Structure 1
Amino acid sequence: MSTAPQTSPTDPCPSPERFVTLRTPQGDLELCYQTFGDPADETVLLVMGLGGPMTWWDAAFCQRLADRGFHVVRYDNRDTGRSSRVQGRVTLPGIVGSFLGRSGPPPYTLVDMADDAFGLLDHLGSERAHVVGISMGGMIAQTMTVARPGRVRSLTSIMSTTGRRTVGWQDPRLLPMLVARRAHTRESYVAASARLWKVIGSPLYPDRAEDVQERAGETWDRGVSASGVARQMKAILSAPDRTRPLRDLDVPSLVIHGTSDRMVHVSGGRATSQALRGSELLLVPGMGHDVPKDLHVTFVDAIERTARRAS
């Protein structure tokens, strides 16, 4: 891996979008994925959060990592973007019941989503990878590391939490926005997304309005599934507390969290770091529940630093 600092990436040069078919307990599943960089380099697998397509990993961010000497893989989780939708209806009372521990099993679990990621790595011929996850993606990355630590070179958990209910809570004022009636047109979806990101984004690093609108439009075009988001939410709420198994790991790890995160309180990041022995905790003042472009270099530096610990 190159260790020379870079202030700007080369022009993003991703592979064409490709698909892999996986056999899962829920049936055959297609995952859409894309890569950056040389396949001969160590793999960095990027796992996105709730309802987010792989394009929420900014192409310039992915290229920065590739420029450091990594083979970067981003993909649409099941029920997201151009990947397969899964059967199973989840209602709002069912989601609330999962939070209270009073409802039935989810259509799938975070373990199933972790197995999707391993299936993609198998398809790419990558035995081990540096796994980087955001929000729900951080939970999936943690679950991957707990399940098969020998396949994870390093773990980076960004604005995520351990699954313990007393940490990483959500600002209750967000609930009306999250359970609001879903948009049925591209225009209404873009408008709703702009309102949400204005609330949960980074107060010190605000996105330009046109960038938010462009990202929302691209998200709509890739495919938005309200029922898929509900299934993912139920998987999150049905997952056990990962604190104890995380303590048993011996994997180089990094935890990044914004001090102004209203979606996942910073206590979730602190708890994750406390559970992971020897982890680096990077708290970013003024950062919310997003990855501002002004922080791309900070994130890439930290991910590379953690990967070097694995080497």
Structure 2
Amino acid sequence: MLHTLPDARHSPTTLIRLAYDTFGARTNVPLFLIMGLGAQRIFWEDGFCQLLAERGFWVIRFDNRDAGESTSIADKLTPSLLQLAASGLFGAHVPIPYTLLDMADDVVNLMARLNVPKAHIVGASMGGMIAQMLAIHHPQKVLSLTSIMSSNGNKNLHKPTTEVLRKLLKPMPKERDTCIARGIDFWRTLHGHFYSFDFLQTSKLMNQAFDRGLNPQGVLRQFAAILAAKDRTLALSQLMLPTLVIHGDADPMLPVSNAYATANAIPGAKLGIHSGMGHTLPFQLWPVIIDDIAELALSASDLNRKYDGLKQVR
């Protein structure tokens, strides 16, 4: 399904169309899944979403702007690979067509279109950064925050390995088989060596992503938004909502120091470090991760009940 949303950053006539789908009953408590850099919503795998739905959530996954079936933002400010490399290595300025806050506002607008006043928010990688921005700027919309394999924006924390950065910045081939093979290889690198790598499932997802539409220029624009984002440590320290930070200790994209910094910044945040996990969600860890998300949602419900009780007493 598609929803058309206004984009105030560009012009009143510029519209963002977000493609989304859902799992579970519409009457269940809503939970939004925000995917990472260049990744389409299908990388929140159907099985993972279904397990969340079985725990009592109405699960909404969507393609971010500039990914999958959502709007591609044609913009003359799109940075080049060279500019992104210079920014990542030396802190050079890069042009930014939009920010992580713009992407967080997309989620708020989608919530409004779906008539969802509040929701549990779960983000992975760049999606975790967007989820943090959503919690910082729209805390009234967030029941709980789960930030997975993400960062607080501190540029002094450990960065991607040389191998990951080299593959990330390599131009995407246009030929189908070569493009899909490159994607599988990159996903295998992110996955690490501890958990078994599901080649067939990854190949299926890469083929689906290719057929739904790849957006190499969109990846550059999203990456620019990440690089331009400021340190969120101080803003995160002001959050007063149930928070869970999940990370792997073998993450080659955003090393585990990013998780400790994020969890330490947010009062009362719970931290789940998984041994051997890289920068993917191994299916072997789905049950424990979903248990932790559901437990966090329960704590959010308890907190809201206490808050409502205090309001009644006053």
Normalising by structure 1, we get a TM-score of 0.92
Q: Distance in 1 between matches of 2:141 and 2:158?
A: 27
Q: Give the secondary-structure state (helix, strand or coil) at the position aligned to 1:206.
A: coil
Residue in 2 that maps onto 1:19: 2
The answer to whether residue 177 in structure 2 is matched with residue 214 in structure 1 is no
Task: Give how far 1:173 is off.
Answer: 2.4
Task: Give how far 1:180 is off.
Answer: 1.6
Residue in 1 that maps onto 2:62: 75
Q: Distance in 2 between matches of 1:120 and 1:94?
A: 32
Q: Distance in 2 between matches of 1:153 and 1:97?
A: 38
Task: Give how far 1:241 is off.
Answer: 0.4
44, 53, 67: which one aligns with 1:57: 44
1:56-80: CA deviation from partner (whole Å, max 9, x where unpaired): 0011111111111111000000000
Q: Distance in 2 between matches of 1:277 and 1:132?
A: 18
Residue in 2 that maps onto 1:285: 275
87, 101, 118: which one aligns with 2:74: 87
What percent of counterpart residues are identical? Answer: 39
Q: Distance in 2 between matches of 1:104 and 1:272?
A: 25
The answer to whether residue 235 in structure 2 is matched with residue 245 in structure 1 is yes
193, 200, 207: which one aligns with 2:183: 193
Unpaired runs of 5+ residues, structure 1, are 1-17
Q: Give the secondary-structure state (helix, strand or coil) at the position aligned to 2:280.
A: coil
Task: Give how far 1:181 is off.
Answer: 2.5
Q: Give the secondary-structure state (helix, strand or coil) at the position aligned to 2:105.
A: helix
Residue in 2 that maps onto 1:308: 298
Amino acid at match of 2:293: I
Which moves more between the two structures, 139-148 or 209-218? 209-218
Q: Give the secondary-structure state (helix, strand or coil) at the position aligned to 1:254.
A: strand
Q: Distance in 1 between matches of 2:133 and 2:243?
A: 13
- Residue correspondence of structure 1 range 1-311 to structure 2 within 5 A: 18-24=1-7, 25-26=9-10, 27-88=14-75, 89-99=78-88, 100-311=90-301
Q: Distance in 1 between matches of 2:196 and 2:65?
A: 29
What is the CA RMSD across the aligned residues, in angstroms? 1.2
Residue in 2 that maps onto 1:7: none
Q: Give the secondary-structure state (helix, strand or coil) at the position aligned to 1:281.
A: strand
Which moves more between the two structures, 108-117 or 168-177? 168-177
1:257-285: CA deviation from partner (whole Å, max 9, x where unpaired): 00000011100111110011111100000
Task: Give how far 1:215 is off.
Answer: 1.1
1:193-250: CA deviation from partner (whole Å, max 9, x where unpaired): 1211221104221222111211111111111111000000000000110000000100
Task: Give how far 1:190 is off.
Answer: 1.3
Q: Is the 8 A contact 1:253 1:279 kept in 2?
A: yes
Q: Is the 8 A contact 1:133 1:139 kept in 2?
A: yes
Q: Is the 8 A contact 1:160 1:168 kept in 2?
A: no
Q: Distance in 1 between matches of 2:143 and 2:127?
A: 17
Task: Give how far 1:139 is off.
Answer: 0.2
Q: Distance in 2 between matches of 1:208 and 1:28?
A: 38
Normalising by structure 2, we get a TM-score of 0.91
Change (3 A) 1:168 1:35: farther
Structure 1 moving runs of 4+ over 6 Å: none
Q: Distance in 2 between matches of 1:200 and 1:182?
A: 17
Task: Give the length in aligned residue pairs.
Answer: 294
Amino acid at match of 1:113: M
Q: Distance in 2 between matches of 1:23 and 1:97?
A: 32
Q: Distance in 1 between matches of 2:163 and 2:289?
A: 29
Q: Is the 8 A contact 1:171 1:262 kept in 2?
A: yes
Q: Distance in 1 between matches of 2:170 and 2:82?
A: 14
Q: Distance in 1 between matches of 2:96 and 2:142?
A: 26
Which moves more between the two structures, 167-176 or 226-235? 167-176
Q: Distance in 1 between matches of 2:85 and 2:227?
A: 9
Q: Give the secondary-structure state (helix, strand or coil) at the position aligned to 1:80.
A: coil
